[in-house]
Amino acid sequence: MEKKHMVGFIGLGVMGKPMSKNLIKAGYPLVVYDLIGSKMSELVSIGAEGAGSPKDVSKKCEIIITMVPDSPEVEIAVLGENGVIEGVKEGAIVIDMSSINPFTTRKAGEALAKKGVEMLDAPVSGGEEGAIKGELAIMVGGKEEIFKKSLPLFKSMGKSITYVGELGGGEMMKLVNQLIVAVNIAALSEAFMLGAKAGLSAQTMFQALRGGLAGSKVMETKVPRFVERNFAPGFKIDLHIKDLKNALTAAQELKVPVPFASLVGQVMLALSNKGKGANDHGGMVEFWEDIAGGKVK
């Protein structure tokens, strides 16, 4: 049986904690770190080793995974004081699974390369449920030989793993994904509100539409939340705002107009300003309910 590499995991939030648990279940020896020390306790109780900083993690591990909120946090964790770069050994692999700006990914990759360290960007889709079940979609950018070497590790956390090309490509693919998901939820919210005002129940619309061209994985996941009024976060509105901000930045850099993404970003911002930024992005339906004076139920 092949010996598994020592893996470090930095960032034990909504996604990082269940992903870490799946690595332990798959038999990987794990070193974990989070800014909030109490988040490490549960992982330590099931076999992980706690660390005092990202530098400490990288000293002990051959593969280091980061799963943090946004570009500034990745820069701090990887390139900052007591960051991964200060302790990492030549020949190690750093895998950033956060959803960030692809230009930040390339900056980190260039800095790590000077120390003989490889980097992959591997953002995920599937939300908390996918992370818990080990069924995430993982989009990976970087050198193909490093991707192949890391594939068994990805398979312990995800169900659909796709190599997309050079470093930064995974992040760009995630931005494409997030744009599609955001616009899809907005379209569902708007259309289901129209039907609700006309007297149609959400469940009836769902059953009538799900098998046709209007059906989608987003509909299957989010419309039941409309019906149940369940907006506990699988993926928070505030995090989706961050992803759309990164998509808009990339679009501006590439001179690609993205008017629908811009509009949906404003809808999410309005909800965040009303104190709903920690709700699931399926809670976008509440924006249309507010302006239409009705409920999708």
Q: Which residues have a catalytic role annotated?
A: 174
The CA distance from 210 to 215, in Å, is 4
- Residue 269's alpha-carbon distances to 180, 238, 273, 277, in angstroms, are 17, 8, 6, 8
User: Do the Cβ atoms of 197 and 294 come closer than 8 Å?
Assistant: yes
Extract the tokens encoding 129.
């449920």
Closest CA to 17 of 55, 57, 65: 65
CB-based contact 63:6 (threshold 8 Å): yes
Least Cα distance to 245 among 234, 261, 260, 267 occurs for 261
Tell me how many degrees the CA angle 25-29-32 measures, rounded to the nearest 5: 95
**What six digits make up the tokens of 141?**
């950018």
